[in-house]
Chain A
Amino acid sequence: MIKAENLSFSYTGSPPYVLDGINLEIRDGEYVSVVGENGSGKSTLMRLILKFIKPTRGTIELKAKRIGYVPQKNDFSNSNFPITVYEALNSYRKISRIKDKSVIAKNLEQVGMSKFAGALMGTLSGGQSQKILIARALMGNPDLLILDEPSTGVDVGSQKEIYSFLKKINDESSITIISVEHNLDAAISNSTLIYHLTGGSGHLCSPQQYADEFLKNKGR
């Protein structure tokens, strides 16, 4: 689904690179958590996959018919915007050219937020708004779901609900999930693979390998 070759990115167009010579291949149906320290280039990698920015060097190929995207809550601080949950979903349905109107009620029910259709987005808690953004991202049955730190600003109870829901849709509908994570427990228990970014480059490993590596480093 995604193939990056010698992918490098720098905001200035010259060294130092935020990402330097990344080689990464993600197959259909995987649940990949991207982990790393702050500033390691996790969100930059997401932005490159989503084509918000262009690589400075190298290539990135993406084969997805429809992409669902859940932005990081800190970036998405438009909480004073006067829009109801229904309006936010309905306008997204329209711009995504999805004709079936019932998808709104269906997706809200899927994330347990049906009774909030008339609420203003700005009045929702962190967990509630994250569920709405997931419901929005799942419109039109995307084959790739990209999430940027889905548990940021979300209470523990909602975090559990969100992660078990993500695991369920990955298992049941084989949707490919790429999630930038700072929640390492969730990354280890949910993912099929972990991409560990450090110093501008990264490596793909199994959750078990990552857990061992992490515990070993922590023990030092």
Chain B
Amino acid sequence: MLHYVFMQNAIFVSVFISILCPCIGIFLVLRRYSMIGDTLSHASLAGIALGLLANQNPILGAFIFTSICGALIEFLRSYFKKYTDLILTIVLALGVGTAITIISSGKLHANADSFMFGSILTVTQFDMIMVVILSAISVLTLIFLYHQMVYIAYDEEAAKVAGVKVRTINYVFSVLVASAISVSIRIVGVLVLSSMIALPVATALQLGKGFKLTLIFSIIFSVIDIMLGLFISYYLNVAPGGFTALVSVAVLVVVLLIKKLKSSIHTTYRT
């Protein structure tokens, strides 16, 4: 299996996905913004469709369109202060509406299905270059803004008092979310992409560690989820996106069971 070039490409891209998604996901989950990941991943389908329509790289199209949608969410936040879920519905309508209109028009010269479910066969050389560039810029930005982003997630008012430009960083963060989504589309697919952003973090949170360790464990769980998802889906001949999501849920359930078992053993031992 590993001697196939398409498989090597898929593994190469998966390594970047498994690092980038939890790095972004931890901030989304802790700010209780997991649904933003879901909304933007669905909106990215419009970017893919626009990219294909313009005969441009669909990942580039997804990145640009998703960044615009991310910025739009941030912009609308000041208009709908008490209805954040409504903002997501608006952006979702814009994204999915655009995607369905373009796809159903029959004007696309490529199949958009692989982007919905994920596919290991379709990773091109140009995609790989895009993935490396977007991942490198995103990780460097995250390292540079790490402490600011931790504080915006943990205690936004304290961050403001300390002089952090919360609004500006929120806009930068929207672009980072768009980047993580664009990088993951080929392998994971639009429909279950948000699971890659949220589930490894949800699993790592069960371990009850500090921020840095939670981030490290999120990356470890993400690597396990994606690699297992990739290899098993290859043997089962199913779409990698769906199976990776199933593996993520299974890993979370296993960790929850171990945690429960450990606490019952601890209680029994004490009594």
Which residue numbers of A lie inside 8 Å of B, CB to CB? 50, 52, 67-69, 71, 75-76, 78, 81-84, 86-88, 90-92, 94-97, 120, 136
Contacts and interface: CB of A to CB of B under 8 A. Distances in A.
Contact of B30 (A67, A81, A94, A95): A81
A103 B209 CA distance: 24
A176 B205 CA distance: 40
A91 B151 contact: yes
Contacts of A94: 147
Contact of A83 (B154, B162, B163, B164): B154
Contacts of A92: 151, 158, 162
Tell me the dominant secondary structure on chain B's binding face. Answer: helix
B150 A83 contact: yes
A38 B205 CA distance: 37
Nearest to A97: B163
A76 B155 contact: yes
A139 B154 CA distance: 18
A197 B226 CA distance: 58
Given A91-B151, A92-B162, A83 B210 contact: yes
A91 B147 contact: yes
Contacts of B265: none
Given A71-B157, A76-B155, A95 B164 contact: yes
Given A87-B210, A94-B147, A67 B205 contact: no
Nearest to B213: A82
A87 B211 contact: yes
B68 interface: no
Greatest chain A CB density within 10 A among B157, B159, B164, B212 is at B157
Contact of A82 (B161, B162, B210): B210
A95 B154 contact: no
B162 A96 contact: yes
Greatest chain B CB density within 10 A among A83, A94, A136 is at A83
Contacts of B208: 82, 120
B162 A95 contact: yes
B160 interface: yes
B248 interface: no
Given A50-B157, A81-B153, A91-B151, 8 more contacts: A75-B157, A87-B211, A87-B212, A91-B147, A95-B148, A95-B163, A97-B163, A136-B158
B221 to A, nearest CB: 14
Contact of B147 (A50, A52, A95): A95
Given A52-B160, A91-B147, A96-B163, A82 B155 contact: no
Contacts of A82: 30, 205, 208-211, 213-214
A69 B159 CA distance: 10
Contacts of A68: 161
Interface in B135-189: 146-148, 150-151, 153-155, 157-164
Nearest to B164: A95
A95 B159 contact: yes
A28 to B, nearest CB: 19
Contacts of B209: 82, 120
B147 to A, nearest CB: 4
Nearest to A76: B155
B161 A67 contact: yes
A85 to B, nearest CB: 9
Nearest to A96: B162
Contacts of A69: 157-158, 161
Contacts of A136: 158
A8 to B, nearest CB: 21
